[in-house]
Amino acid sequence: MLKGLDRGESALHLNMLKKLYLLGLLLMPFFVSAQNTYMTGNVFDNEQRSMALQGVSVRNLNTKALAVTDKDGHYAISAKTGDLISYTIVGYQTDTVYLVNLFPKNLYMRAAVNNLNPVNITTTKISPFLDVKDTEAAPARQVDYSKNRGGLRLGLGYGKWRRQQAKEQELEEAANINEEISKNFNKEVIQKLVNYKEKDLEDYIGLHRPTVDQVKSEKPFNYTYYIATTFNEWKKLPADARKLPRLPQLKANP
């Protein structure tokens, strides 16, 4: 009788163990997923790479999650692959990272550049004749040189010269911006950021190259954020819509 009870209890325990084992297998993906929803890392100064930066705001631009680095420059923030993480602190250039994985990341921030040149004033001298009034001076006579009075109005082309100078300055600024775009929006930079090396990447570059007006409207222009958002939108398009339109063929002269 006792042996029968022991066998029954053993079978019951074995059955419970099987159920617990199956339950553990079912729950394991949830635990693994929960463990991989955070990204950690450290933030340092780009020039003095051993100097950790405390107080850096680390923000997930997709979920709006926020973390701040501690005295060792360490942070942990909820994230997943495909998210955009920005790093901001006063005195440094804002940096943005597109996550292709959730490995721990060390980020090196560059100090903000001040383009204003300092001006040192060593001495000043005020002329004693600036505020002296001439008691013998007579009021000046107003002369009308308009055409209605038979006079001659000399423009000397000053307005045209100013317009020409403004046009040259505008062209020079556009050339500098185009050079900046080519440096920050090219095949090598995009492949490194989004980890995409298919042949149709050239179509994306042709369709979404930023314009001069776009870059001028946002100073400084965030190329990382622009590439990540426009690339994701481009990938969602049908295959035909992702291609550059064909150039019209020129008709031959008869």
Model-level pTM?
0.43
Q: Reply yes or no: is the peptide bond before residue 220 cis, omega within 30 of 0.
A: yes
Mean pLDDT of 159-171: 79
What stretch of H or E contains 252?
none
Give the whole-angstrom CA distance, residue 36 versus residue 28.
13
Handedness of CA 180, 170, 220, 209 (dihedral sign): negative
Q: Which of the 8 DSSP states describes residue 129?
A: T
Q: What is the pLDDT of residues 62-109, one digit of tens each?
A: 999 999 999 999 999 999 998 999 999 999 999 999 988 889 989 999
Mean pLDDT of 107-116: 80
Look up the CATH number of domain 37-109.
Answer: 2.60.40.4130
Percent of the chain with pLDDT over 70: 65
Q: What is the pLDDT of residues 23-50, one digit of tens each?
A: 665 655 544 444 458 899 999 999 998 8
Give the whole-angstrom CA distance, residue 112 versus residue 3.
81
**Residue 31: its pLDDT value, please?**
47
Q: Mean pLDDT in the chain?
A: 77
What stretch of H or E contains 107?
strand 105-109
Q: In what order do the strands lie in the sheet with 105-109?
A: 74-78, 38-45, 105-109
| β-strand pairing of 105-109 with 38-45 | parallel
Give yes or no for a contact between 223 and 231, defined as CB atoms under 8 angstroms apart: no
Q: What is the pLDDT of residues 199-219, one digit of tens each?
A: 888 888 888 898 888 888 887
**Spans of all domains in the chain:** 37-109, 158-242
> Residue 71 has which token pair?
């005295």
